[in-house]
Amino acid sequence: MPMDGLTLGFMARELKETLNGGKIEKVNQPEKDMLVLLIHAQGKNHKLLLSAAPSFARAHLTNASYQNPADAPMFCMLMRKHLQAGRITGLEQLGGDRVLKITVESKDELGDTAPRELYLELMGRHSNLTLVKDGRIIDAIRHVSGDMSRVRQALPGLPFVPPPAQDKIDPAELTEEALSDKLTALAGPLDKALAASIRGLSPVAAREIAFRATGMHRTDLADLNLASLAQVVCAFFRRLPEIAKPTAQMGPDGLMADVLPFPYLSLNPDLQKPCPTLSAALDAFYFGRDRRDRMNQKSQSLKRLIKTHLERDEKKLALQEEELTASAKMEEYRIAGELLTAQGYLVPRGAETIELPNFYDPQGGTMEIALDVALNPAQNAQKYFKRYRKARVAQDLAKEQKEKTLKEMALLEQALFDLEESETEQDMADVRKALEDGGIVKPAGAGKGGKKKPKQPESAPLRFEAPDGTEIIVGKNSAQNDRVTGSARGNDTWLHAKDMPGSHVIVKAEHPAPDTLGMALRLAAWYSRGKGAAVPVDYTLRKNVKKPGGSPAGFVIYTNQKTVMVSATEGEIAAMKRL
């Protein structure tokens, strides 16, 4: 569920309690639509994440680590100028809607202290983050020109105009009379009427309030006493701060499906789990989704390039298969030539075909041979030998080209899998490097202004802890697979999905316990092209795994393996302890 006004109200209260009076120590912009503020408050450092991403707009404290660009964007530099070293003096939700206002007291160039307001609007594709001073926009993370919106622009220097007020009641100003009047003018299901009457309610929240007010999952306004209903609903809104109890709504697959500011009586209580804070719940819910979405966007061009090369290779492979099929007749050419050489005296002058005894046939049969009437038997034999030599060269070339094509396709399929598993910029850089080494893409050039691009730090594999404390390491791409396998000890256990792109998995034990081996098998099955759906997984000792010289990244051969058919679900993988 997107962060609605009801949830934002709880978050605003949580953030105010934690951050009010805090000092902004650092400002970073890891993504084009995200700020992360390091704030020292109440003797601790806190990271406040403010995201204006269309699909994942939100505000909460985070423990996640985000990779910052080598050069800070201009918006980030401007935010540092105005916010860094400032103190948070106010934090509030505006009008019960999806707008968070953070007031920061900071010094200007002359050393005078003045307030700035940071407005985060959680409005889907219209989400924005705007810094305002004296009523005018200093800058916005997403510029909105007059061509984009005639109603409301967001450009430096323009007056800041708050989002248009909805014709709904601010929860802070909710009264029984006002709500009753609103509901009297409406008809239909109660939950839809509440969402149309009170600001900031998502459909899920409106259904919960309707259920709490009536005890039923679906009720029509016509069947209710509106005065009594308004009294119950208003009493519920007055109690909101008291019932805060952050909750994770789990799905049947064991994964977090939603975040609730308090337990919802209208939903299955067995699928609701308490969380320490609303920030912790939102951090867990959004981090993986946001990261996957951003990586998918960033990797689109590379994915298209890989798929284009794969399509070309598939066409080349089909042509090479045709050439191999055609060259299969070369033995017939050789035999025809030898039969004509040995038995040319049996060929009558001017014959177009001749049927000669085939002494190569174990059954003692004959072979019909087409002849060129302009040539004598010896010349016809030489013509067949020439065809044989040409077909043999074509076959050798087709075999060589087919082997090359198959290797390239394997590299591309592995790269496509690696790209889908990438979690960081370093992971994606590993994939591109493998394609560069394979001659698929050209090496990346210099950065802007001819500057040499900074070298990406080495990407890190996934690390898990088995129930008995044994470490399990999972490579996320070919480069990591090389490093993971290369650094393992000879008696460590090595696993890989059989005959498909996937991760090298290392268990730091020669004889892992059954539970530990089972966990490693599920990891190998999940982190493969089979995605855990009945995947055959091979496992052996690391000392039985060899990397042939000159082979591409991630390619190995191995012996003495055992094979197990394994299935794994995303819920099982998510429940495993990561280091």
- pLDDT tens digits, 366-384: 999 999 999 999 999 999 9
Q: Phi-psi bin for 364: left (phi > 0), alpha (psi -120 to 50), beta? A: left
pTM for the model stands at: 0.73
CA 274, 275, 276, 281: dihedral to nearest 10 degrees? -160
Please say whether the beta carbons of 166 and 97 come within 8 A. Answer: yes
Q: Give the model's pLDDT for residue 254.
A: 78
Residue from 239, 236, 230 nearest 177 by CA = 230
- pLDDT tens digits, 391-423: 888 888 888 899 899 989 988 998 998 888 887
In the predicted model, is pLDDT for residue 152 greater than 60?
yes
- Which residues touch 25 (CB under 8 Å, ≥6 apart)? 38, 39, 40, 45, 84, 85
Residue from 463, 572, 564, 579 nearest 519 by CA = 572
| Helix, coil or strand: residue 312 | helix
CA distance 390 to 330: 8
pLDDT band at 446 (very low <50, low <70, confident <90, very high): very low
- pLDDT tens digits, 16-46: 999 999 999 999 999 999 999 999 999 999 9
What residue has token string 């967001």? 154
What is the amino acid identity at position 340?
L
Widest CA span in the chain: 118
The DSSP code for 492 is S
User: 5-140 in CATH: which number?
Assistant: 2.30.310.10
